[in-house]
Structure 1
Amino acid sequence: MAKLKDIAKACKSKNAGPFSITLDIMFDDPALFERVRATDVVSAALIARLYGVQQEDVLFTEYPPALAWKATLPRPVASGAVGDVDVYGAQQHAPLLDIEIPL
């Protein structure tokens, strides 16, 4: 098993407006991207489970030409609202880092 943080070029998050977060998982090696893609581990279901949202609330896009996946999901608290701990959404990628990929 390999952790995503050890094999992906980047895992990042940012706001997609005040009510949504977007997550990006990117690779720089086409062969490695295809190996990870073939496992079907990275999915809308996984993102929903990691972030505690309904799968139908996850807009999930696989984009092979860029060796990447993108997911957009609702924020638990609007950006800048009382209780928000990450105004820019830049720290929300952490749950992605420990995803285990069977390579």
Structure 2
Amino acid sequence: MTDTPQTTLADLAHEIRSKNAGPFWVTMELFMRDADGYRIAADETFLNERTIARLYGVDEAAVAMFRVPSLKVVKISFPRPVGQGSLRDRDVHAGQHHVPLAVLPVPR
């Protein structure tokens, strides 16, 4: 018996990316391949402010989520853990922040 790998958000997306939204915010965008993938990513019982807060260690109240069904896009913004370019900043362009979201397993 072999275990089937669990499907992740990255498996359902055309692209998942993160970027700066100014020196104090990160924005992530999920561009879903099709309506089924968008339905999963936009499901507020699965992907919500609490999920993002848990994944990124931010305050749930500070997370902003935007669902755009006509484009099959979910956009997420939250404060950076440290200011861009500060001494403790490990990702100046916020280009790697999307990874925990991309590998998030989706419900079966």
Give the TM-score of the pair, scaled to structure 2.
0.85
Q: Find the residue that maps to 1:96 and give its secondary structure.
A: helix
Q: Which has the higher helix share?
A: 1
Deviating 4+ runs (over 6 angstroms)? none
CA shift at 1:5, angstroms?
1.5
Q: Rg bigger for which structure? A: 2
Deviations 1:41-73 (A, max 9, x none): 111111111011111000111111110111110
Deviations 1:8-52 (A, max 9, x none): 111110000000000111112123322544573111111111011
Q: Find the residue that maps to 1:101 and give its secondary structure.
A: coil
Equivalent in 74, 85, 101 of residue 69 of structure 1: 74
Change (3 A) 1:61 1:81: same
Q: Which runs of 5+ in 1 are unaligned?
A: none
| 1:3 partnered with 2:3 | no
Q: Find the residue that maps to 2:29 and give its secondary structure.
A: strand
What percentage of aligned pairs have identical amino acids?
A: 34
Q: Find the residue that maps to 1:65 and give its secondary structure.
A: coil
Counterpart of 2:3 in structure 1 is: none
Q: Which has the higher contact order (CA 8 A, sep 6+)?
A: 1
What is the Cα-based RMSD across aligned positions, in Å? 1.6
Give the TM-score of the pair, scaled to structure 1.
0.89
Instruction: Give the paired residue count.
Output: 103
Q: Which runs of 5+ in 2 are unaligned?
A: 1-5
